[in-house]
Chain A
Amino acid sequence: MKPTCFTRGVLSLFLVGAITVPLLAADPMEEIKQTTDKILSIVTNPALKTPSKTVEREKLLHQAVYERFDWEEVARRALATHWAKRTAEEKREFVRLFSELLERTYLKKVEDYSGEKVLYEGETKEGDYATVKVKIITKKEKDIPVEYRLKKEENNWFIYDVSIEGVSLVNNYRTQFNSILLQSSYEELVKRLREKNEPK
């Protein structure tokens, strides 16, 4: 009896997967929604909140966040003119360090989640680029407008910038990186990124 249940479960999973995946692929808002729901379900899952599950929880969150971003694009835009000057090896390292920093920051925010509602306000598409507007409803005075910018790659949408209250993450880092690069060196920038990533 058990095996049949199991196989049926697997089968239906495959079926559902087969039907939904191609349908969803074309819609950036749907993808943002999926990722958000996934993250929130992990964060709010009481079973994952016990200390023994911390590692598993982090892993799940990491997965959910990681797969929705195009980290190379984020890094490329943040480095802007300086990107082209780096070697392939340096680029790879930079993407890794920068994505680690961003992910940690983002997950910290997610950890603070306390029942805020997310309103999906709409999307605009322009070829391979899209913008998804979201509003976070908080208890406090004001709602927070968030804008995800996405890029399509192989029929999937990936985030390359997030802008909150009109403040773009990539732009903000770009100014910081640029200022550091102008005043010191790329090595210094990487050093600082590393220091930021060191667990304290």
Chain B
Amino acid sequence: MNRVCWICFFLALYLIMLPGPCTGSQPPEAPVSVSPSDELGAMAIAMKPPEPSGEANSFESPHTDEPLLSANQEDEPAEIADEDTSSTSSELEEPARGIADPLEPVNRAFFHFNDKLYFWVLKPVATGYKAVIPEDGRVGVQNFFSNLTTPARLVNCLLQVRWKGAGNEAVRFLLNTTLGMAGFLDLGRTELKIQKQEADFGQTLGVWGIGPAFYINWPILGPSTLRETVGYVGDFFLDPRTYLPSQPIYYAIRPFELVNETSLTLGEYESLKKAALDPYIAVREAYYQYRQNKIGKSRNRQNNP
């Protein structure tokens, strides 16, 4: 019975999304959720974040006072490399190249804002949502949205010369959209063992040799860089939701997606914060490394398809 409700709910959702001959309306910038996965991936995502409670504030304050960090940040890798000769440590280690962060004071402010947003709004809502809806349902919703954004991944695979990746996306899309009930079931992954390709326009730009420029922590959207922000805009035009007939639907869907996403990653941001001495830097560096890793992986796939 429960299941029937579910299917109706999904079908209704699907129908809502279907009728989209574009009206060319300009919805807000796509809240690209960075959505890596659990575990530390939490670090990379942890987009909703920044500092709640006094506990964290006490960590934050010394930094916000001193804008000099941004400059230091860039020196840092070099410095480490110079002095590290005393030990063998860097042999197998990739250098800890930080990302430039000239906007740090502003970024920290938004980090703080996102943190509050997470703890005061997103988390309570997602917790309630989680209590009502079983995990399978929420994973289904996640799959559905993920299936919707196939065009962006497929096109970016092509732009990155990952023919096999593009093929995989096409197969996944066809299978999941039909037998997978409009994408709620990820049969491509569970049955055919074809993984979702990680491809977005920011990554494409990186593969083309464009650097991230500098770090930006957007309100609501979370960690990003200049390159990735340009990437959002590119992907935004490949997102079917952009061409929804009415803005209200778009505005309803985005938060819903965000809540659903959050319900699947509850606790990750918290544990990241618990483990970090400076959560802002932890998130920033995790995000940067996560992105660089994705770009590197894509390059590898090009070379040996």
Contact = CB atoms under 8 A, between A and B. Distances in A.
Interface string A140-181: 111110100100000000000100111111111111111110
B66 A193 contact: no
A90 B76 CA distance: 23
B290 to A, nearest CB: 5
A81 to B, nearest CB: 4
B217 to A, nearest CB: 15
A182 interface: yes
B43 to A, nearest CB: 6
Interface stretch (A14-22, A23-31, A33-41, A104-112): A104-112
B7 interface: no
A83 B87 CA distance: 10
Nearest to B75: A182
B289 A184 contact: no
Interface in B55-74: 59, 62-63, 66, 68-69, 72-73
Contact of B83 (A81, A171, A177): A81
Contact of A174 (B63, B96, B196, B271): B96
Contact of A165 (B40, B76, B79, B186): B40
A141 B271 contact: no
Contact of A192 (B36, B92, B277): B277
Contacts of A139: 135, 139
Contacts of A101: 275
Interface residues of A, number: 52
Contacts of A164: 39-41, 43
Nearest to A182: B72
Contacts of A184: 62
B106 to A, nearest CB: 17
B191 interface: no
A39 B278 CA distance: 29
Interface stretch (B9-17, B120-128, B156-164, B279-287): B279-287
A76 interface: yes
A192 B276 CA distance: 10
Contacts of A180: 277-278
A105 B274 contact: yes
A7 to B, nearest CB: 45
A172 B289 contact: yes
A196 interface: yes
A72 B302 CA distance: 38
Nearest to A168: B289
Contacts of A177: 277
A187 interface: no
A189 B267 CA distance: 25
Given A164-B39, A167-B289, A143 B69 contact: no
B225 interface: no
Interface string B168-207: 0000000000000000001001000001100000000000
A142 B142 CA distance: 11
B37 A189 contact: no
B294 interface: yes
Contacts of A83: 87
A180 B79 CA distance: 15
Contacts of A76: 87, 89
B300 to A, nearest CB: 12
Contacts of B86: 84
B87 A112 contact: no
B80 interface: yes
A82 to B, nearest CB: 9
Residue in B37, B89, B277, B294 with the greatest tally of chain A CB atoms within 10 Å: B277
A170 B68 CA distance: 24
Contacts of A170: 93
B44 A165 contact: yes
Given A144-B39, A183-B68, A184-B62, 9 more contacts: A77-B89, A139-B139, A140-B142, A164-B39, A179-B281, A182-B72, A182-B76, A183-B63, A188-B62
7 contacts: A81-B83, A108-B274, A141-B143, A171-B94, A178-B76, A188-B62, A196-B274
Top 8 nearest A-B pairs (CB, nearest first) are A166-B293, A164-B40, A81-B83, A105-B275, A171-B96, A142-B37, A175-B285, A167-B289
